[in-house]
Structure 1
Amino acid sequence: MTEDATLSAFDDEEAATESGDGAGAETESGSDDASPGDRARVRSTYAWGTYTCNHCETAVDRVWRADGDLVCPDCKSW
């Protein structure tokens, strides 16, 4: 066996640290009272794959969000 540490060696240390001072413990403080429907819709700023630019209608493999539309790098105002 090598002198490298295994992942299981860290489990016991981490559990002892979290239970010892309580700093890692999560509490139910009610800070997340909003329901999922109350939150604003989250959107990506970048995507990759097969897309068509919403401004120039060019087929591209990378798009960015500009004014709510997914656009190619040439149509994105940097």
Structure 2
Amino acid sequence: MTRDASLGEFGVGEDDEQSTVEPAESPTDADGAAAGSTAGGDHDAPDPIQPTSRWSGEPRPCADCGTDIKRAWTDDGRLLCADCKEW
């Protein structure tokens, strides 16, 4: 085979055909609830997503220095300018 082989030179095997396997039913527990569900409350909920920055069309003051900024970076719930944000 040369370095510039075409895809047709690799051939198609029997394993390349799409199978028509039916998806398996999801397992259930004794109560009939789907496995992995959190209905029992045994699992901790994931932490909510916290934004790292915010943008506003109207300038707002930085929580530390008071400079008017349109893009504010979050730091412990405060909105800061890029100069005041501890990186």
Which TM-score applies when normalising by structure 1?
0.48
Q: Which has the larger share of helix?
A: 1
Which TM-score applies when normalising by structure 2?
0.44
Larger radius of gyration: 2
